[in-house]
Amino acid sequence: MVSADQRRIFVTGGAGFIGSHLVDRLLAENHRVVVLENFNEFYSPDVKRANLYSHMNNPLFTLEEGDIRKRDDVKRAFAHGPFDVVVHLAAMAGVRPSLENAALYTDVNVLGTQRVVDELLASSRGARLVFGSSSSVYGARSGECFTETDRIDQPLSPYAASKAANEAQLYAIHHTTGLEVVCLRFFTVFGPRQRPDLAIHKFCRSIDRGDSIEVFGDGKSKRDYTYVADIVSGIRSAMEFPLSGGFEIINLGRAEPVLLIDMITSLEKALDKKANIIHKPTQIGDMPYTFANIEKARRLLNYNPSTSLEEGIAKFVEWYKLEDKSAPILRRLTLGT
């Protein structure tokens, strides 16, 4: 039986880092969830399958495999609707990889988003779209916090440019169709299941194994590290809050930038091991710092990030140690071998 407050929710990229945590939360709340995921090779598909393994026999959960750029794949997934909310997290991610294949980032992130919106409007017109954007749209700054009204016309990478293009794309769609849209700019999300290419996960693995870590620049760059559970809480609020005017852009960060070298120190403490740091020149595309102004999120979403970097790092390292032991077992289970 469907309860009065049960909702049908469509999540693209639901097997990924943020997406799988959101799916966990939605299913725990007894909503019906459909995930569209292509399990690409950006990092191990086995890892992403393991993220959803515990839900595969849940009658409230449906997984469709497909590419957001392909109309038939998107249409097949939307056939499980109509949906009340669409959370669009699927994207080609990562600043540095985008430097090597800018066309792919434009193709997946811009064309793929259009495909999702086209089908939403065709089959779930009353749904709200919650879109996962990025702090990377802000580009380089000189010291001030990042506010949603700031200019975003100087992105430093093709990935950042694709996310800025998405926001303009979605505003135009809202303006011409009336679609409700909330764009959430995520700030350096970390926690259990973090992608293996991201700094905290990559550094943790190398420090634990006794390998050296490469630090680009002098270690004085800053990031507004935000724990994944806080991000998921922000997404949940964005799915339901009263949306006056039908379109909003909202930062989701912690508003406490941390030096890269201090983040490494937190990892060393949690692992009880010392990092062997090799300094490299600053890379093209990297932002010198990120710093979210979250007053709008506090006001509209009642957003209140509660996990400090140290607490989050400790939880991440705890997960990392368990995941390292359980990975072969989960891989066999998800592959059926």
Known catalytic residues? 159
> What is d(CA 58, CA 182) in angstroms, rounded to the nearest whole number?
29
The number of helix segments (H) and strand segments (E) in the chain equals 12, 13
Cβ proximity of 129 and 180 under 8 Å: yes
Burial class from Cβ neighbours inside 10 Å (0-12, 13-18, 19+) for residue 142 reads exposed
Cis preceding linkage at 59, omega within 30: no
Q: Return the CA Rg of the chain.
A: 19
131 three-state secondary structure: strand
Closest by CA to 90, choosing from 34, 138, 26, 151, is 34
Q: Provide the H-helix boundaries in the chain.
A: 17-28, 45-52, 71-78, 95-100, 102-106, 112-123, 158-177, 199-209, 228-240, 260-271, 295-301, 309-335
Cβ proximity of 249 and 133 under 8 Å: yes
337 three-state secondary structure: coil
User: DSSP code of 292?
Assistant: B
Residue 111: both structure tokens together:
């064309």
